[in-house]
């Protein structure tokens, strides 16, 4: 068995990052080779595998999101079941890379968020967050030491527990002469801004609003569950944008709220999608027009964030898109039009896989934990101090 101390002695490690986001589309597993740590970190992606959730499991996860109906015995079981699924995703990516389990040093697992209650003024709850996917199950099933629960330490210190990827963005993408924005479009969209010549304390990050989440929900509703998303943005491309509905949605309080801010299913989940569908039906909009309008809305919320909160202070040279939203060509077309003349392209163009980026980040966060490096950015999360993130489950 490898101890933390033994792991820290290895200059080069093979690490797996496991991630499932708010889309609940599946577990992303990135197998990387990490050299060094902290500012010297270098990462190479060896293999990537995305392990889709079975429909039954996906529905059970969605049921957990509903506080009115979710049950504690189900929560207890799902923690272990999701742990098994994450372990299988790790084993699959190892096989895909044609490596042996004993060659892998470490797993960093984000888990599946089922509930997230960030600190808020006048909140009627205890700030807290819950990611399922029991790391002891992952460590036992794979035989690989596992670091998980990255968000809780930041919340314990008064932070939002999110976003955590900006620290990794800073390690991997900081440059000297360009100001770059890394825009991830998953279920929710979030941005990391790395000003030219930035130190870690200069990095900005925030959720910008919805990503694919509303489009996905509406596609499921329109097709009785047959379609999980608007493939390549094809349906949106056939419709036209309803400006009045777009204007209504742009009044959403999240959009004007000052950053840093986080959002999720609570604001842009099935309830939002359901209301959008009803509004569209009352105006006799065709399905393609509704999806076109939602796609335009998603693009506008991203652009509005930059217009309100970034452009007044920074001249952004380049924008790189990651996450599943980069495959939605209609969304990408809207973004290019809105942001021109700024260069906007998928992050693959600078040799990082856009679908693997978040999973890679959790592999690097695990590596940072081994060395006791704080990995939250307090100015980003609102925590009272830098915190070392993660809990350790030995193999």
Ligand X SMILES: Nc1ncnc2c1ncn2[C@@H]1O[C@H](COP(=O)(O)OP(=O)(O)O)[C@@H](O)[C@H]1O
Query: In the complex, which residues of this chain contact ligand X (CB under 6 A)?
Result: 21-23, 25, 186-187, 212, 216, 229-233, 323-325, 327-328, 358
> Among candidates 109, 97, 98, 88, which has minimal Cα distance to 32?
97
Residue nearest to ligand X (CB): 324
Run of H or E including 90: helix 72-96
Give 10's contacts (C-beta < 8 A, 6+ positions apart).
105
For position 322 contacting Mg ion by CB under 5 A, the verdict is no
Among 23, 146, 184, 298, binds Mg ion (CB under 5 A): 23
Residue placing its CB nearer to Mg ion in the complex, 23 or 131: 23
Q: Nearest distance from residue 202's CB to ligand X, in Å?
A: 26
Work out how close the CB of 23 gets to Mg ion at its nearest, in angstroms, rounded to a whole number. Answer: 5
Instruction: Please tell me whether residue 287 binds Mg ion under the rule CB under 5 A.
Output: no
CA–CA distance, 347 with 17 (Å, rounded to integer) = 18
Q: Which residue is nearest to Mg ion (CB)?
A: 21
Token pair belonging to 45: 């992606």
Residue 113 pairs with which residues in a beta bridge? 131
Is 190 a residue that touches Mg ion (CB under 5 A)? no
CB 353 within 8 A of CB 45: yes
Closest to ligand X by CB, 160 vs 190, is 190
Shortest distance, position 29 Cβ to ligand X, whole Å: 12
Q: Which does 212 bind (CB under 5 to 8 A by kind): ligand X, Mg ion, none?
A: ligand X
Contact region with Mg ion (CB under 5 A), list: 13-21, 221-229, 252-260, 272-280: 13-21
Contacts of 145 (CB under 8 A, 6+ apart): 1, 2, 4, 7, 105, 106, 107, 139, 392, 393, 394, 395
Nearer to ligand X, 187 or 374 (CB): 187
Q: What is the DSSP string of 62-89?
A: HHHT-TTT--HHHHHHHHHHHHHHHHHH
């209609």: which residue's tokens? 330
Under rule CB under 5 A, residue 21 binds Mg ion: yes
Q: Does 211 bind Mg ion (CB under 5 A)?
A: no
Q: Which residues bind Mg ion (CB under 5 A)?
A: 21, 23, 25
């Amino acid at each position: 068995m490898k101890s933390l101390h033994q792991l820290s002695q290895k200059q080069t490690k093979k690490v797996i990052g496991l991630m499932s986001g708010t889309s609940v589309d599946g577990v992303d597993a990135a197998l990387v080779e990490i050299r060094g740590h902290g500012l010297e970190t270098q990462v190479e992606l060896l293999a990537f595998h995305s392990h889709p959730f079975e429909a039954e499991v996906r529905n059970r996860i969605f049921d957990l999101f509903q506080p009115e109906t979710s049950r504690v015995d189900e929560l207890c079981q799902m923690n272990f079941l999701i742990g098994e699924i994450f372990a299988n995703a790790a084993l699959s990516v190892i096989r895909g890379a044609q490596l042996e389990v004993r060659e892998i040093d470490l797993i960093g697992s984000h888990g599946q968020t089922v509930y997230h209650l960030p600190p808020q003024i006048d909140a009627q709850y205890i700030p807290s967050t819950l990611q399922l996917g029991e790391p002891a199950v992952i460590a036992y099933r794979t035989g690989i030491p596992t670091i998980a629960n990255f968000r809780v330490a930041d919340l314990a210190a008064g932070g939002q527990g999110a976003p955590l990827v900006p620290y990794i963005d800073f390690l991997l993408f900081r440059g000297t002469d360009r100001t770059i924005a890394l825009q991830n479009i998953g279920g929710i969209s979030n941005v990391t801004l790395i000003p030219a010549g930035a130190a870690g304390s200069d990095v900005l990050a925030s959720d910008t609003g919805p990503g694919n989440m509303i489009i996905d929900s509406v596609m499921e509703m329109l097709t009785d569950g047959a379609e999980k998303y608007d493939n390549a943005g094809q349906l949106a491309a056939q419709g036209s944008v309803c400006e009045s509905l777009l204007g209504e949605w742009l009044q959403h309080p999240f959009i004007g709220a000052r950053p840093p801010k986080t959002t999720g299913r609570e604001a842009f989940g099935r309830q939002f999608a359901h209301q959008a569908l009803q509004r569209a039906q009352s105006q006799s909009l065709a399905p393609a027009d509704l999806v076109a309008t939602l796609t335009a809305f998603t693009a506008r919320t991203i652009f509005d964030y930059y217009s309100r909160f970034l452009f007044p202070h920074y001249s952004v040279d380049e924008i790189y898109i990651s996450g599943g939203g980069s495959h939605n060509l209609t969304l990408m077309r809207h973004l290019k039009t809105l942001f021109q003349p700024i260069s906007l392209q998928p992050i693959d163009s600078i040799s990082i896989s856009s679908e693997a980026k978040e999973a890679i980040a959790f592999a690097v966060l695990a590596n940072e934990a081994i060395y006791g490096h704080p990995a939250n950015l307090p100015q980003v999360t609102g925590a009272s101090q830098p915190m070392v993130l993660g809990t350790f489950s030995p193999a």
